[in-house]
Structure 1
Amino acid sequence: MAITSANQLELLQTAEAVAREKMIDPGLVVEAMEESLARAAKSRYGAEMDIRVSIDRRTGRATFTRVRTVVDEDELENYQAEVTPAQAAELVKPVRPAVSVTAAKRTVELEGEEPRNETFRRFALKVQGQGSDQIDQSALPGIGDEIVDEVPPVELGRIAAQSAKQVILQKVREAERDRQYDEFKDRAGTIINGVVKREEYGNVIVDVGRGEAILRRNEKIGREAYRPQDRIRCYIKDVRRETRGPQIFLSRTAPEFMAELFKMEVPEIYDGIIEIKAVARDPGSRAKIAVISYDSGIDPVGACVGMRGSRVQAVVNELQGEKIDIIPWNEDVPTFLVNALQPAEVSKVVLDEEAERIEVVVPDEQLSLAIGRRGQNVRLASQLTGLDIDIMTEEEESKRRQAEFEDRTKLFMDTLDLDEFFAQLLVSEGFTNLEEVAYVELDELLVIDGVDEDTANELQARARDVLEEQARKALERAREMGVEDSLVNFEGLTPQMLEALAEDGIKSLEDFATCADWELAGGWTSVDGQRVKDDGLLEKFEVGLEEAQNLVMTARVLLGWVDPTELEPEATEDDDTESASEEAEEE
């Protein structure tokens, strides 16, 4: 089939029909046709040639042109698509009236010849004269210019036509994918209604209007089963552009799905009067949602429950009967945790903010209720608060406190040469270690029954003697292990700290300066979704993360690794303005 023998308007009509069907720009379809015809022409004229096709958007006429780029003679590689300046000058002589030269914004052709392609007509530059010696030398093609001449249309055989069809289909699919991605990329994080098309290996393919989405089996609630043509409501979890096209991933187990459902059912949430602060779910079984009201006249829990539970019941029905606990949010973490562990009663809460852990003490008969079936209740409370929760009974907590009391009593008896009764008095008053006894204000010792000023002074003297002896022995052991004077003389490290560092191979100031702050102070990391404790070298000496960072940076400054001026915060423009205002006021 020759392209010239076909109805030229048929190309444009076909492009418009395909564009309407796929809901894409007709220009993209025309560009796909141009590329497919160019490929067919290359198979006819040679794959190394640069053949281009331009379809007139008004008449449908297809123009086939051969393009040759002017390159330096040393860079000439493709003799079919590249020419040297000398060859280019020969090609634009008057004997070649159909040849034109295109640069960035120009086309050079002979007098009397209008460029046939409208793309070139815009940049036409007439050359006066009839002979090659009369051509304006400045208009001759230079390095980087393109020489364009028209070639006869090709005959599209069966194979070429099939290849052209595949190119057009591929381009149309790419355009359709781009359109689908642009439509759904901004809808991530919202709820969408769709129709089930089919199920593949447990994954549900959902028709969402102008595309398909996938609901993976691990994103379904429990043992949900769907049949074709079933209507389904899902949360758009992610929209990604992949090689095979945009992938729309749906979810019915995401906590955000429940939050969006409540936003649809509770007008106060939609209006921003009530805010959902946290959601924790065990999909298909139980969930906890924390809400707060910014209007003192509106109860957040009651608004979410609705009249006779109508609002929360609508969400429960959508989630296949998932039980939902609606909890009032509180900025005070222990109070919020007590609410989150409902319906269990909590006797005591101990929060460790640095370790992001919290200890909860419950009555013996409330332990199973607080933990929940298979640990569900405490697990959801942990997700809701973002803290690791340790639950113990009052009996277990009492035993632990008794053990700590006995250990501290024994410490004071052995080190301070006290009898059991006096040592217990110290522990009862809250003293936990020798440092507190040695360096506490004298008045705090005098409040203990039976302790006068002489006794208090004697207690502190004994404690300081013990601490000094311990420090001396620790320093001796550290030096025996090879600790250098540069580290010994470094301010901020005690002999016991030096000993602990030496046991880990840190024996010089350079070694210490290479440490990370978390290596010294310890911390928590997540491994396979579980929080794992990293013990710090100086953690037992109560060295925090900020203190460890300051020690390491000080060591680096002393070694010249860090410029101290870089550590000083730069004065902001606001600070400068305030300083200038203060100076003006003083004047």
Structure 2
Amino acid sequence: MSNELLTILEYIEQERGLNRELLVKAVEGALLSASRKSIHPASKLRVEVDPNTGAIHAWATLEVVESNPTNDQLVIERAREKLPDVKVGDIVEWEVTPRNFGRIAAQTAKQAIMQQLRKAEKEIVRDEFADRVGQIINGIVRRFENGNIIIDFQKAEGILSSREKIAGEQYMPGDRINALLLKVDILSAGPSLIVSRTHPDFVLRLFEREVTEIHDGVVQIKAIAREAGSRTKIAVVSTDSHVDPVGACVGLRGIRVRNITSELNGERIDIIPYDEDIRKFAANALQPAKVQSVEAFPDKRELIVYVTAEQSKLAFGKKAQNVRLSSKLLGWNISIQTAGEKPTESLEDKIRRASKALAKELDIREETAYTLVCNGYVSVEGVKTAGRAQILEIPDIDAAEIEAAFDRLDQ
């Protein structure tokens, strides 16, 4: 076993880059756990592995007694065979290595050793990547498992689930890929790094990397709203009156934003000037639509935006995406009204009416429909177009009810 163990230690040290001392401690713990019953009945045992030879020895902590020893005791006559000066009552470490310990260890400890080594590797991964959560990391696509992409980040593997992958993206083994590190998971089996390309912060980090003024703090990102793979709105402001925040993000001849769009597989990016005045901010957010006026109701965090009939289509956008993203960007509910048209009912009443109709069509509770409407999904067609995955990302949505609704729609 010593030669075999030494070979394993040398291989793992060289190929996986783990410290020999760390490996030896992991092996000692694994052998003790796997072979405790076959070593000695004492309660305090220690297994020692010679890191240079691979030789294995086991030791028990025993009390020296006159006679009639228990599991944790050793008679004085036997103790004096090796320790001539020992006395009754002394505590000694006594070697209890079984004659066939090498064979026992070979049969029972290999799996435990590998488990300990995987744990040691994951702890190294945690130490290496814990400070990089929320940052972009770069790796190489290795393989595909159940629709998920397994990525090699040199010192660890990561997993990009199908929900965290931008729709329409295609990768091949060997391709380089950038992703946002969401979490370092060392407790579960499989890849330790959980990454995403759909998270809004992925776009934010791309801007920080591409736009020097953002990295230096001259331009600040105040808010971001994203529908991954389709469109993102980002609100920016400058701390220097001489720096145009939108121009800085766009870059000379649009090179900066074009680089980011390319990384996002063609996702459209709207860069919007932030304004402390929520009405001006709303008008900016709804571009390219030209807004005539905005009424604000701060107590309800609601806005009524007036546009001409010609601009109404632009304000809503395709499948209501423009107004939906604008609402997310501001954190306020937005109602679009044609100029000159006075609302006959309050915004809340309209939302409730739309929720009731949507609940009936989808056969869901009005509370769930209300959440959908507040997030811009006011029709069955809009819900179907968004898709199951995107709807399930809505905060506080009833996942089980949505799953059941989509199952019915798919029939």
Offset, 1:336: 0.7
Residue 206 (structure 1) aligns with: 151
1:22 to 16, 21, 30: 16
Amino acid at match of 1:53: V
1:301–1:27 distance in 2 versus 1, CA, 3 Å: same
Q: In the alignment, is the contact (CA less than 8 A) between 2:226 and 2:325 conserved in 1?
A: yes
1:168 to 113, 129, 140: 113
Relative contact order (C-alpha < 8 Å, sep 6+): which is higher? 2
1:383 to 323, 328, 336: 328
Task: Give the SS at the match of 1:221.
Answer: coil
Q: In the alignment, is the contact (CA less than 8 A) between 1:195 and 1:229 conserved in 2?
A: yes
How far, CA to CA, are the matches of 2:205 and 2:111 in structure 1? 43
- TM-score, normalised to structure 2's length? 0.75
How far, CA to CA, are the matches of 1:98 and 1:245 in structure 2? 52
Amino acid at match of 1:258: V
1:296 to 214, 233, 241: 241
Q: In the alignment, is the contact (CA less than 8 A) between 2:156 and 2:192 conserved in 1?
A: no
2:58 to 34, 55, 64: 64
Q: What is the 5 A alignment of 1:2-41?
A: 14-38=8-32
Task: Give the SS at the match of 1:242.
Answer: coil
Offset, 1:191: 1.1
1:329–1:45 distance in 2 versus 1, CA, 3 Å: closer
Residue 217 (structure 1) aligns with: 162
How far, CA to CA, are the matches of 2:49 and 2:103 in structure 1? 21
Structure 2 regions of 5+ residues with no counterpart? Answer: 65-69, 347-366, 376-411
Task: Give the SS at the match of 1:241.
Answer: coil
How well do the aligned residues superpose, as a CA RMSD in angstroms?
3.3
Say if 2:234 is the partner of 1:311: no
Q: In the alignment, is the contact (CA less than 8 A) between 1:32 and 1:167 conserved in 2?
A: no
Residue 329 (structure 1) aligns with: 274
Say if 2:373 is the partner of 1:373: no
Offset, 1:56: 4.5
Task: Give the SS at the match of 1:264.
Answer: helix
How far, CA to CA, are the matches of 1:35 and 1:333 in structure 2? 62
1:529–1:206 distance in 2 versus 1, CA, 3 Å: farther
Q: In the alignment, is the contact (CA less than 8 A) between 1:180 and 1:246 conserved in 2?
A: no
How far, CA to CA, are the matches of 1:156 and 1:400 in structure 2? 84
Provide the aligned length of Structure 1 versus Structure 2.
Answer: 351
Task: Give the SS at the match of 1:173.
Answer: helix
Task: Summarize deviations over 1:394-443 as a string: whole Å, max 9, x none.
Answer: 24326669xxxxxxxxxxxxxxxxxxxxxxxxxxxxxxxxxxxxxxxxxx
Percent of matched pairs sharing the same residue: 43
Task: Summarize deviations over 1:64-119 as a string: whole Å, max 9, x none.
Answer: 2223589xxxxxxxx535xxxxxx5xx464662268xxxxxxxxx752x7xxxxxx
1:13–1:400 distance in 2 versus 1, CA, 3 Å: closer
Structure with bigger gyration radius: 1
Amino acid at match of 2:13: A
Residue 44 (structure 1) aligns with: 38
Say if 2:71 is the partner of 1:80: yes
Residue 560 (structure 1) aligns with: none
Residue 96 (structure 1) aligns with: 79
1:232–1:376 distance in 2 versus 1, CA, 3 Å: same
How far, CA to CA, are the matches of 2:195 and 2:108 in structure 1? 36
Task: Summarize deviations over 1:365-420 as a string: whole Å, max 9, x none.
Answer: 2212111111100011011111111121124326669xxxxxxxxxxxxxxxxxxx
Structure 1 regions of 5+ residues with no counterpart? Answer: 71-78, 82-87, 100-108, 114-126, 133-139, 402-523, 533-587
How far, CA to CA, are the matches of 1:310 and 1:67 in structure 2? 71
Task: Give the SS at the match of 2:109.
Answer: helix
Offset, 1:243: 2.8
- TM-score, normalised to structure 1's length? 0.54
Task: Summarize deviations over 1:224-249 as a string: whole Å, max 9, x none.
Answer: 12111111111112223323266312
Q: In the alignment, is the contact (CA less than 8 A) between 2:159 and 2:191 conserved in 1?
A: no
Q: In the alignment, is the contact (CA less than 8 A) between 2:42 and 2:62 conserved in 1?
A: no
